[in-house]
Structure 1
């Protein structure tokens, strides 16, 4: 071997050694970076990181991709339940990183400028997280091909200019972020000629769609919905011949569909609904591959192109609220597995196309408010998949096919304002899902079949203005969910069924203008939710049942019958003026237009004498009892005040105090008592400086509460509770002493003695949210106040779960533990059951066999696992949101036996009308859509499986977005997947959702 060769070999060996040494050092550094990443996500609920340790080769870490050199080239951690702040300063030190995929997690905080150092990235997915702040300048990331930042809470101005250098971008998804509104459509997008996906829905785009959009000829999916884009759709959009989906929904677009749209012959989904578009639909007749066509709420006119009847892939057609005329193509929907049609609120004529359910897949037929004629085609009687059948306000006639009445899945049958004839058949017993039956203003005849009791889900029956006859069947009393019964203006005879008293949910009864006779059943007075009762214009006789006097009715009309006897005094009020007219046999000393009742009317002299004697005796007994109670109470209060002053007290302050211990002790007296709890009393204290405080007095043991100095009982119960400070006191002090948050009640200090303890709080003059919604201080809360209360309370819980150094589970979240200050700003209070998450889930403290919390608010898993979990607080908060939206208590008689507000809400998520009916009547119609946005969040919070509930951090974000025209919800489907939902419209119903709404989400290939 020559010297030269030897020298070269030595040099090569040294180079190899240097390379291996460098590689080893890089791997060591990359290992440390990944371990730091694991540490940043240490609070995540995932087992993904269990094998991320120094003993495992980093290329074997789950979610890590290495290149041929063994360096980290990809981090694939999407949809892994990650939570934490993204450490980009560390991640971007991975010099070979080309793929960073962290979508569909719960990452929060800001995305820092360190992202600019990830210069080799080709794929970046941070979408579907809960970041805040703006998106940093991305201009150094010139190699990016896939960029997903959608649905992640970004705000501020997006750096559109930084996109200009990303010539290789193939997919760009920025939608569903509250960016600042642009005045011009971003021109930088027009140079990205490699794009096949552009998702910019709901990200505050303004201006007009420029003609340059036609440059993006590779586009397969273009979504610009839910923005502020105006002007016409440019003709150049016809150059995008590869388009599969075009979404322009909910903008301010005007003008006609552009000539050239016909060139998009690969288009399957086209939605330009809720704009100001006009003209005819002739350009659509060439789009033979359409699967879904939605152009509702525009001003289109002319006829529906006949060619649509030959579209062999069309399954969804929604053209409602336009000015369309002429007939529908008779072959419409007969070729494919048709899903739904909604052409309501137009001027369409002719017959209903007969074959839209030919394949047995149709779920909605909505054709109300047109000029359709003819009969209902017999084919729909066997359409077992139909959920909604609505053809009201047309000119249809003939008998309704018998099978329509018994469709097993249908939840609404709406035939009102037509010319239908014939009976409701016994087939209705098969309609197990039927909730609403609307057939008013027709020519229907016959009796209401006994078999109607088989339609057990019925909530509303409206048969008014027909020709029904015979008796009202007693079986109607078996309909436990029935809330509305309208049978007025028919020819029903016989008596009012006594069984109606079993319909515990009934709130509106109208059986006026019939031929009913007999007495008014007293059982109607036992209906707990009855609000309106109209039995006028019949032949009812006998006395008005005394039981009706106990029902609070907003409408009562018993006029024009044959009633006799006295009008109950509680019904003889101005609110019911005219309610008893046309009954010559009635008498009343209070109603001046009626004759006065004779002395013996209604009861005998002996009975009256007995009642008077009993009343006098009872009054004497009550006075004596009250005097005895007062004396005992005064004695007890004196003993309590003496014992407090004699005690030796220890004060611990948690804030700067402006009062003394004596000022507090001197105020613990009966006249300052404002509340009682299971562990003690609450007093209002007015300081000399005018400041008000609330003081909770907690007895340290049972015997102390009874007045003794020390616990003397040796019984197990008292021995267990006696001695030392109470658990409630310890929990409250431990939790509140270190908390500083505007939405958590402030604890100033504790004052303790051997036998009792005092907790001194800020005083909240407006009481609790429960008081404002349901209690004696109930007032009308406007929607803005309710929404702000929801956000504030959510932020308080978010702080407890995510902001404390030792996260806290409240365990008793409810409206009575949300207090309101003078400005109705909320404070989370009462931490007697609170636990730290570590304490609650470690060792023997992981569960308890006493269910903590309040009935109606307790998460379902607590009943069988007893596990303490922050998602239990989320569930309880979801119940509070339902209270705010509906105005209902968590438990109400109208919900039914063993049912609560959550099951009641879920049972009413089947259609738009029922959802809207859930909203508190105190909330104006124009704001009910906004309230429903919050109801959707409540539904997410109360998911039966804890892992499907959002974190409180996500709840805060969604509530903040749930302002007018801003909400984007994530709906969990039956298979556990998640989809974006916004708006609320029966025409956008998706039966796969637990709720419903328009589906709009980035069509990312990687997800």
Structure 2
């Protein structure tokens, strides 16, 4: 029996035409002005009041998460020397015939489009095995709940990640999670979402081929696994990228999608520290607004520490569940801590509960990642980010902002942050020049 590798880069369904980055339109400017004015001292009371009821919901919701087994990405000699690759797209075949001659075997080069679906190309399992050297350990770059992840190349030299699902017959949910990921990835196209190249499903083999993002996960960088500390400017950019991705999923697709597993280990970073949201295994289609439905009733899925307590209690899933997880992510970004820190004393173990209490008590600066400088720009951004996080973490979903609003607020925070940083730099330069002239 022939196993097939299906490549799908469909562009004809699943999303509306929309820019990858939000433009600063007139309505955006208006909303930013209202955001800036509402962040003054007179408007915090209702937010703080709502936040006071958050604390009691945390402890019962969380259990320690699984430890990460992901590895730092290194190029093995075997990978560098491989002459085989998986074909990316039939439409590229013509230009690749000339370029690929010096690469050895050109896998799938002459395969043609199957059926009437545009962009769908079928490959054999043998080609995937050849491209990964029979899933060689030297190609393996990670291991997660879904299965193993391997690194290889497309015919045009594009590096991709090959995710191979576990084969355990006891993992009954993997089939549905796999289908969810494939269906979601085949519909989305956004700068801040991982690209989808194709998938294979035959017998007990389930494989997804997606864009390889070279700079590891956000969590790895917050843990300084790669050696450098992420400054607050980079963290703010990452938060904005994630908010754009979620806004697209929630608002700019014909059938909106709820990710359901927003967390720092699912945020991949490029070499320029731009964020791409990955892992759509838990994703669900949001309710159709035209139908009058307000939520999807479904089994609770997600990661401890990021779960929306209202969803956990009612089994009612909405886009605001992603907003809650995003609020946890914001706190994680500014504190550097994981959502659950079992080694800390009890009152600091649940990071969101600890950080929000400090913020409400007027001691926000004490939760700033100790590896970051306490500059005026950092301090101001910290206060505003925590205030937004507080809104995202509201116990009831109707009190949370939508993701578009989160993106607008973050844009305003970044604008203020850059202006203060530039002002401080100019002031420092002037002082330095005066000191130098006095010495002369």
TM-score range, shorter chain: 0.5 to 0.7
Q: Deviations over 1:494-513 (max 9, x none)?
A: xxxxxxxxxxxxxxxxxxxx
Cα 1:133–1:880 change in 2 (3 A) is same
1:903–1:778 distance in 2 versus 1, CA, 3 Å: farther
For residues 215 and 24 of structure 2, the distance between their equivalents in structure 1, rounded to whole angstroms, comes to 33
In 2, the alpha carbon distance for the partners of 1:959 and 1:654 equals 38
Match of 1:732? 181
Return the offset for 1:899.
4.9
Q: Is the 8 A contact 1:839 1:846 kept in 2?
A: no
Residues 813, 876 of structure 1: 8 Å contact kept:
yes
Deviation at residue 751 of structure 1 after TM alignment: 2.0
What does residue range 748-763 of structure 1 map to in structure 2 within 5 Å?
Answer: 748-763=197-212
CA distance in 2: counterparts of 1:839 and 1:154, whole angstroms:
29
Task: Render the CA deviation track for 1:950-976: whole Å, top value 9, x for unaligned.
Answer: 000100000000025379xxxxxxxxx
1:660 Cα deviation (Å)?
A: 8.7
Indicate which of 5, 19, 25 corresponds to 1:133. Answer: 25
Q: Is the 8 A contact 1:651 1:661 kept in 2?
A: no
- SS of the residue 2:229 aligns to: coil
Q: How many Å separate the matches in 2 of 1:793 and 1:773?
A: 16
TM-aligned CA deviation for residue 175 of structure 1:
9.3
- Relative distance call for 1:839 and 1:778 in structure 2 (3 A) is farther
Cα pair 2:335 2:368 within 8 Å, conserved = yes
Cα offset for 1:860?
Answer: 1.1
> Superposition pairs for residues 556-571 of structure 1, below 5 Å?
none
* 2:414 paired residue number: 963
Alignment of 1:316-331 (within 5 A): none
Q: Label 1:778 to 1:942 Cα distance change in 2 as closer, same or farther (>3 A).
A: farther
- Give the alignment's TM-score, normalised by structure 2: 0.64
> Do the aligned residues in 1 keep the contact of 2:32 with 2:409 (CA within 8 Å)?
no
CA distance in 2, matches of 1:662, 1:690: 19
Structure 1: tracts of 5 or more residues without a match: 1-108, 110-129, 135-151, 156-173, 179-200, 203-224, 227-248, 250-291, 293-649, 704-717, 968-1007
Instruction: Measure, in 2, the Cα distance between the counterparts of 1:777 and 1:966.
Output: 26
Higher strand share: 1
The answer to whether the 8 A contact 1:655-1:749 is kept is: no
- Give unmatched runs, 5+ long, in structure 2: 1-18, 43-111, 419-440
SS of 2:340 mapped into structure 1: coil
Q: Equivalent of 1:702, from 168, 172, 180? A: 168
Whether 1:929 aligns to 2:393 is no
> Counterparts of 1:903 and 1:729 in 2: how far apart (Å)?
34
After superposition, where does 1:596-615 map in structure 2 within 5 Å?
Answer: none
Structure 2 residue aligned with 1:950, among 401, 404, 422? Answer: 401
Partner residue in 2 for 1:939: 390
In structure 1, the partner of 2:147 is: 680
Q: Tell me if structure 2 keeps the 8 A contact 1:812–1:853.
A: yes
Q: Which residues in structure 2 correspond to 1:485-496 (within 5 Å)?
A: none
Matched residue, 1:506: none
How far apart in 1 are the matches of 2:236 and 2:360?
A: 24
**Aligned partners of 1:730 and 1:654: how far apart in 2?**
20
1:610-650 Cα deviation digits (max 9, x unpaired): xxxxxxxxxxxxxxxxxxxxxxxxxxxxxxxxxxxxxxxx9
Corresponding residue of 1:665: 129
Paired residue secondary structure (2:160): strand
TM-score (norm 1): 0.29
In the superposition, relative to structure 1, how do residues 868 and 747 fare at CA in structure 2: closer, same or farther (>3 Å)?
Answer: same
Alignment equivalent of 2:338, drawn from 875, 889, 905: 889
Q: Check 1:781–1:775 CA distance in 2 against 1; reply closer, same or farther (3 A cut).
A: closer
* Contact 1:774-1:889 within 8 A present in 2 as well: no
Q: Cα gap change, 1:842/1:753 in structure 2, threshold over 3 Å: closer, same or farther?
A: farther
Counting only pairs closer than 5 Å after superposition, residues 618-637 of structure 1 correspond to structure 2 as none
CA distance in 1, matches of 2:113, 2:302: 30
**Could you tell me whether the CA contact under 8 Å between 1:654 and 1:749 is conserved in 2?**
no
Do 2:296 and 2:318's aligned partners in 1 also have CA atoms closer than 8 Å? no
**1:823 positional shift:** 1.0
Partner secondary structure for residue 694 of structure 1: strand
Tell me which residue corresponds to 1:176: 33
- State yes or no: 1:859 paired with 2:308: yes
Whether 1:764 and 2:213 are equivalent positions in the alignment is yes
Whole-angstrom CA distance in 1 between matches of 2:172 and 2:403: 34
Return the match for 1:919 from 346, 351, 368: 368
SS at match of 2:416: coil
Partner of 1:258: none
Q: Give the 3-state SS of the residue equivalent to 2:200 in structure 1.
A: strand
Change (3 A) 1:922 1:175: closer
Instruction: Report deviation, 1:685.
Output: 1.1
Cα displacement (A) at 1:775: 6.5
Output the CA distance in 1 between the equivalents of 2:179 and 2:253.
18
> Using the alignment, how far apart are the partners of 2:379 and 2:388 within structure 1?
15
Cα 1:961–1:754 shift into 2, 3 Å: same
d(CA) in 2 for partners of 1:131, 1:820: 23
User: In structure 1, the residue corresponding to 2:164 is in which secondary structure?
Assistant: strand
* Higher mean C-alpha displacement, 898-907 vs 791-800: 898-907
1:748-797 C-alpha deviation (Å, 9 max, x unpaired): 11122222121111100111111111263363001111111010011001
Deviation at 1:842, TM superposition (A): 9.8
Q: Secondary structure at the match of 1:959?
A: helix
C-alpha contact (below 8 Å) 1:654/1:738 kept by paired residues? no
Counterparts in 2 of 1:675 and 1:940: CA distance versus 1, 3 Å: same
- SS of the residue corresponding to residue 220 of structure 2 reads helix
Matched, 1:691 2:142: no
> Would you say 1:819 and 2:283 are equivalent positions?
no
d(CA) in 2 for partners of 1:792, 1:662: 37
**What residue number does 2:5 align with?**
none
Secondary structure of the residue that 2:28 maps to in structure 1? coil
Mapping of residues 896-915 of structure 1, within 5 Å:
896=346, 899-912=349-362, 914-915=363-364
Q: Distance in 1 between matches of 2:126 and 2:253?
A: 33
Cα pair distance change 1:756/1:918, threshold 3 Å = same
Select the residue among 783, 786, 790 that pairs with 2:232: 783
Query: Do the aligned residues in 2 keep the contact of 1:857 with 1:879 (CA within 8 Å)?
Result: yes
Change in CA separation of 1:966 and 1:676 when aligned onto 2, cut-off 3 Å: closer
CA distance in 1, matches of 2:317, 2:254: 18
Aligned pairs for 1:502-541 (under 5 A) are none
Count of matched residue positions in the alignment of Structure 1 and Structure 2: 319
Q: Structure 1 886/654 Cα, relative in aligned 2: closer, same or farther at 3 Å?
A: farther
How far does residue 132 in structure 1 lie from its aligned partner after superposition?
5.5
Does structure 1 retain, via aligned residues, the 8 Å contact 2:113–2:120? Answer: no
- In 1, Cα distance between the equivalents of 2:152 and 2:118? 18
Task: Kindly provide the CA deviation profile for residues 659-701 of structure 1, in whole angstroms up to 9, marking residues without a partner as x.
Answer: 99755322022221111122321111145654311011124x5
CA contact (8 A) 2:229 2:371 kept: yes
For the residues of structure 2 that align with 1:939 and 1:842, how far apart are their CA atoms?
A: 29
Give the conservation status (yes or no) of the 8 Å contact 1:940–1:950: yes
Two-structure CA RMSD over aligned residues (Å): 3.9
Q: Does structure 1 retain, via aligned residues, the 8 Å contact 2:268–2:278? A: yes
CA distance in 2, matches of 1:778, 1:751: 36
Give the structure with the larger helix fraction.
2
